[in-house]
Structure 1
Amino acid sequence: MNFTSKLKANQLVLLLLVGSFLRLYHIDFQSVWLDEIHTINESNPSFSWSQIYGSLLASDPHPPLYFVLVQLCFKLFGYSTIVVRLFSAIAGIAGIWAIYLLGKEIVNKQTGLIAATLLTFSYFHIYYSQEARMYSLLFLTTTLSFYFLARLIKQPTLKHALLHGLMAALMIYTHFFALFALFAQYLILLFFILKPFSTSSKTAFRYGLISGVLTLVLFVPCFNIFLQTTKKTSMWIPSPTVDVYTQIFKEFFGQSELVLFLVCSVMLLFFIKLYSRPNFKSGQVVPETEPQVFAFLFFFTWIAVTLMIPLISSYVKLPMIVSRYFINILPAVLIMVAMGIYYIKNDVVKGLVLSFLIVFSFTDVVIVKGYYKNVTKTQFREATDFIKSNNSGKDPVVTSLGWYLPYFLDNGTEKTTIVDKPLQDYVNEMIQDSAKLKSFWYIDGHIRPYALNEAGEAFLNQHFIIDHKVDLYDAWSKHYLLKSDAKFKNADLKKFEPIGKVNGDPFAFAIGTFEGNENGVDLSGFAFFEGQDATATDVDVVLIGNGKAILFWTSTVRREDVAPYFHSNYDLSHSGFSAQLPSEAIPSGEYVIGLWLRDTKTGKEGLTLTDKTFKK
């Protein structure tokens, strides 16, 4: 066997290895966001199964399969975000194998391999294979359920009926959107009961009934959660737009125009091949002799039903269309694309089309989107880590997200007092009761605006300064320090003596705002060492004069605009800063404002004196 033959024989193994790398690499790079925290809280390893069920029933009405399996992983490997994401990644990797099986069963082995190749490099599937939610498992169970449906249609036996019934139950135990796919399966089964090709209608009906009854019986324990879902009278999901499914189709392929062009082109080949098929006198569809027609009947019913029911429901009852819910039709879409590629007769053209799809998809994930280095999820982990690193006074944390934060701040190893109420309510309590006037932290995120009325803002400005603040992706933390507790801190700058204009390693900077008056000093801007990321760089603002070097209370501010402005490929989003120092904390004298940068990763350190001065 030559090298090329060996490569073809081991193509699925190679795809699984590449798919594993793409789904495991930087798997814990992003913080868990709101929905993922739901998973972590509801799969708490200390919960009994009934507690998981009750938690889902009360706050997150989803079927329990994913949560029960995640809890088992927590018990075996530890209660951490990487464990739950690894479970999703494993389900995603198994999805590559599953789509190969389905493509092979519907058409042939080569179509299965092409479909598996497309899925391996799918941005949409990679993304949800690294998310601590049930979507990669939904893809897997749906694909296997349709695989066993195809086996049942081709070979109606008790074994295949039981396997399909079991897998269909696992599918709807993963996400309730799978019920639409299940309805599509029963329509497909009904067609082959009415138009059987290898057995009698009676036999086909009997095995279809066995499968359906098994699924129904297994679904009974989950019925109360499903019933709770149907009782909802409002949803966070917006009403669908006229092009909602067009946008979802684009999301399936990462919104990449090059990938979409190739995908639409090869799907057109699938339909051209389909339209060339003649009529059948008997009206029967035989999978072995008419794979194109069988595939169309199979996949079109699957896709059409799964799209149509939610669309109608969104207009007559409640909106329910969210792109990730439709990951259960992605296998059908990809196999239809794979069939279009398979029908290209010229092997060179076929190889080039598939190669271009792989290259464009991979480039889109790694380079265009910068998936493995750009932050796209709410940074709750980093915001709470900032609190833990700077909360030496054990001050309470005020937040409107109190249910979500105990995993980070009050989890057995960490013990922080969490006050679960909006900032406005907490400030009102301090206004009404001066005994409650104490330093505190405030954290929020997930597109929640900073909301405080003028009276509350004036009260905070009168009694507090912000000595620690971090502004991250969709999350922020602030420490409100009582002015009566504010003391200036000296900076040790002896290593830079004699201090000149630029000391140590040089860096780029700009002061955006500066205000120095009888109340103190406030300023903001950005600073970074050139030729490297700013993710590990600490920025401090210092007042230098009268033989003293006084540290400001300096906070990190997220600045997405800096890197594009300097045409830099480095991550400079953490280069922003804001700083303030109240007049009470500054000894009398004349001072120059300095910026002091230290990078914990590269070891660079520099001090630069700005042209800003202050006199008290």
Structure 2
Amino acid sequence: MNLRDLEADLQYSDYYQLLFISLTVGLGSILRVHTIGFDSFWLDEAITMYFIHTMSYQEIITELPKVQPHLPLYYILLKAWTSISGTEEGTVRMLSAAFSIASIPVLYALGKRLYGFQVAAIAALMLTVSPFQIYFAQEARMYSLLAFLTVASYYCLLRYLTSKQTKEMALFIISAILLAYTHVFGFFVITSQLLYLFWGEWIGTENWRSCIREAGRIAIPVGIGAAPAVGMIAAKVFIPHSYGSGSQVQHIPAPPNWHDIISAYTHFTVRYSHPPMSIAVQVGLLIGIGGALFVPSHFLSRKKSVFLWSWLLIPTGLAVVLSYLIQPIFFPKYLIGCSVALYLLFARGAAFIPRPNVRTVLLAIILLNAVALNSFQFTDHQKREFESAAKFVDQGYSPDDLIIVDKRKSSSPFGYYFDRAGMPTAGDITGPLRPEIRKQVRSVDTVWVVFSSSKQPHRRKVLRVVRRTHDRAAIKHFAGITAYRFVEDPKHPVRQKTQL
């Protein structure tokens, strides 16, 4: 296949292009709305709802960054959204779904502007069916907004670089500032964009004063607009006791190794590592990306290649470096904005492979794995069923009962669904049972114990203490949760001693 044939293959009528993107957006909407209210809120979502219910708009801006490692834009939008739609699980998550759906046509427009219809179509299709994207489109967190603003800001940047118009520059500045107020990793994306902008100006003029002047037209207003967000994060990290805590990503135990980084890129397509599927997807991605080697370099354009590779690698590299220098922050979902660059790189390589049968096989590998994993996501609980556990306790609960929840990871979402004034305990028992709770166990007739993420040795320790004075009356298993009901046993010597 020569270059002329390749260019001819990329010509499609506007009608078919419009039909394709309409069907793709429709499919993406169905996949993101389907079963969106199937699971109850889990820990992070319950925390989100706690802030939405208890904070005003002003407090979200000024106080929320002190207690969360995230920034306020999504919370402001969600508070406004819930004031209209209500607080049911499905309606709350619909805001995230809307941002994820909106990312599809923007990515398509970006891919088409870069490499034409085929690349745009493949990239949009990967975004549409990706289990990784669909999962976070159905979660009441800021990740789908982070992905949308990343794609939108890169699209605005590309339009500005093409036209150099003030209007396009203003759109990019606005999208970049909004990105800065969405998530810490938004700073990494902005850094990648500004570095690419400076590099593009440098190879165009090779005059450092001109480069600084042109790049400064964008970097200065973006820096001024994002300065408060930068200040919040910098104070949180480097001055731990002046503006919240400096270590709020304790769920990330260690800096990433090479396996973690490669697995993160696989996550962008399959979300979780399933050995047969993951290996097939990794091979498919490598072959697809390597397909660009079959195309003349002047057709791909060095600027376009750097545009995509810097988008993928610079935010990832910054996350890795900071994980080693300051504290571990590398986590696949935080890099959701980079996942779009991977889709574009794969689409570019796959579309330009000269053999149609190879292209078909690669697309089949990716899409069939996505279909299989989406089927699993739609039919199995992906989050812990705190609502069902709360209903189970509610059926037999009385105000004199004691409720023990094993960890804060459980007590926050459990408390969201089991909201009773005067509930004796929604315990935070991360070590041995605290003495005051031991006393409470001995002084009440009925004890409820709810386990979620605790390990077996801790569970046995808690149950051993409760069983000293109570007998198990009921046990119920839910998705990721086990709930017990214990009633007093007057024959226990400890219980008799307490009554005396």
Q: Give the TM-score taking structure 1 as reference length.
A: 0.68
CA contact (8 A) 2:469 2:488 kept: yes
Q: After superposition, what is the alpha-carbon deviation per residue over 1:477-519, rounded to whole angstroms, capped at 9, x for unaligned?
A: 22222235xxxxxxxxxxxxxxxxxxxxxxxxxxxxxxxxx99
What's 1:263 paired with? 285
**In 2, distance between residues paired with 1:214 and 1:476?**
52
Q: Tell me how far apart the structure 2 counterparts of residues 88 and 431 of structure 1 sit (CA, whole Å).
A: 43
- Which SS does the other structure have where 1:329 is aligned? helix
Letter in 2 for 1:324: K
Give deviations 1:391-419, integer Å, cap 9, x for gaps: 25663423343444432121xxx556152
The amino acid that maps onto 2:446 is S
Q: Secondary structure at the match of 2:343?
A: helix
Paired residues of 1:409 and 1:416 also in contact (CA < 8 A): no
- 1:224-250 Cα deviation digits (max 9, x unpaired): 431344242573312223321111122
Answer yes or no: is 1:247 the counterpart of 2:263: yes
1:445 matched to 2:467: no
1:124 and 2:132 aligned: yes
In structure 2, how many angstroms separate the alpha carbons of the residues matched to 1:322 and 1:204? 34
**Aligned 8 A contact 2:442 2:469 in 1:** no
Instruction: Work out whether residues 398 and 418 of structure 1, in 8 Å CA contact, stay in contact via their aligned partners in 2.
Output: no
Change beyond 3 A, Cα 1:161–1:376: same
The CA deviation at 1:205 is: 5.0
SS of residue in 1 equivalent to 2:449? strand
Q: Is the 8 Å Cα contact of residues 123 and 344 (structure 2) preserved in structure 1?
A: yes
Please tell me whether the aligned partners of residues 475 and 482 of structure 2 are also in contact (alpha carbons under 8 angstroms).
yes
Instruction: Within 5 Å, give how 1:229-244 maps onto structure 2.
Output: 229-231=236-238, 232-233=246-247, 235-239=250-254, 240-244=256-260
**C-alpha contact 1:156 1:203 (8 A) present in aligned 2:** no
Matched, 1:219 2:214: no
More divergent stretch after superposition (306-315 vs 16-25):
306-315
Q: Does 1:390 align with 2:406?
A: no
Tell me what 2:385 maps to.
379
Per-residue CA deviation, residues 203-231 of structure 1 (Å, 9 max, x unaligned), is 77555323222222222342443134424
Is the 1:253–1:260 Cα contact (8 Å) retained in structure 2?
Answer: no
Distance 1:450 1:110 in 2: 55
Identify if the C-alpha distance between structure 1 residues 395 and 146 changes in structure 2 by more than 3 Å, giving closer, same or farther: same
| Residue number in structure 1 paired with 2:496 | none
Quote the residue 1:20 is aligned against. 29
Counterpart of 2:322?
313
- 3-state SS in 1 of match to 2:458: coil
Q: Deviations over 1:29-72 (max 9, x none)?
A: 2222211212111222x521222235523321211111111111
- Whether the 8 Å contact between 1:40 and 1:81 is mirrored in structure 2 is no
Q: Partner amino acid for 1:268? A: G
CA distance in 2 between partners of 1:469 and 1:73 (Å): 38
Which secondary structure state, in structure 1, belongs to the residue aligned with residue 184 of structure 2?
coil
What are the Cα deviations for residues 571-611 of structure 1, in whole angstroms up to 9, with x where unaligned? Answer: xxxxxxxxxxxxxxxxxxxxxxxxxxxxxxxxxxxxxxxxx
Mapping of residues 26-425 of structure 1, within 5 Å: 26-44=35-53, 47-196=55-204, 206=213, 208-231=215-238, 232-233=246-247, 235-239=250-254, 240-254=256-270, 255=273, 256=277, 257-273=279-295, 276-277=296-297, 290-345=299-354, 350-351=359-360, 353-355=362-364, 357-366=366-375, 370-392=376-398, 395-399=401-405, 400-401=407-408, 402-410=411-419, 415=421, 417-422=423-428
Match runs of 1:524-539 below 5 Å: none
The one-letter code of the counterpart of 1:374 is D
Please state how far the C-alpha of 1:365 moved relative to its aligned partner: 2.6
Q: CA deviation at 1:140?
A: 0.6
Q: Looking at CA atoms only, which structure, 1 or 2, has the larger radius of gyration?
A: 1
Answer whether contact 1:121 1:358 (CA < 8 A) is retained.
yes
Which one scores higher on RCO, CA 8 angstroms, separation ≥ 6? 2
C-alpha distance in 1 between matches for 2:484 and 2:197: 59
CA 1:409–1:269: 2 relative to 1, 3 Å: same
Residue identity matched to 1:18: L
Root-mean-square deviation (CA, aligned residues, Å) is: 3.1
Greater share of residues in helix:
2
Q: Distance in 1 between matches of 2:184 and 2:476?
A: 39
**Distance 1:105-1:416 versus aligned 2 partners, 3 A rule:** farther
- Superposed CA offset, 1:281-332 (max 9, x none): xxxxxxxx75442221111222221121221222222111111111111111
Tell me which residue corresponds to 2:6.
none
Query: Could you list the runs of 5+ residues in structure 2 that have no partner in the other structure?
Result: 1-12, 239-245, 493-500
For residues 459 and 129 of structure 2, what CA distance do their matches in structure 1 show?
Answer: 46
Q: 1:57 to 1:350 in 2, by over 3 A?
A: closer
Q: Give the deviation of 1:432 after TM superposition.
A: 4.8
Give 1:584's aligned residue: none
| Aligned position for 2:498 | none
Contact 1:34–1:404 under 8 Å retained in 2: yes
Which structure dedicates a bigger proportion of its chain to strand?
1
| Contact 1:162/1:214, CA 8 A, preserved across alignment | no
Pair 433,476 (structure 1): closer, same or farther in 2 beyond 3 Å: closer
Is the contact made by 1:30 and 1:375 (CA closer than 8 Å) also made in structure 2? yes
Q: Distance in 2 between matches of 1:146 and 1:96?
A: 14
Name the structure 2 match of 1:559: none
Provide the secondary structure at the position in 2 that maps to 1:478.
Answer: strand
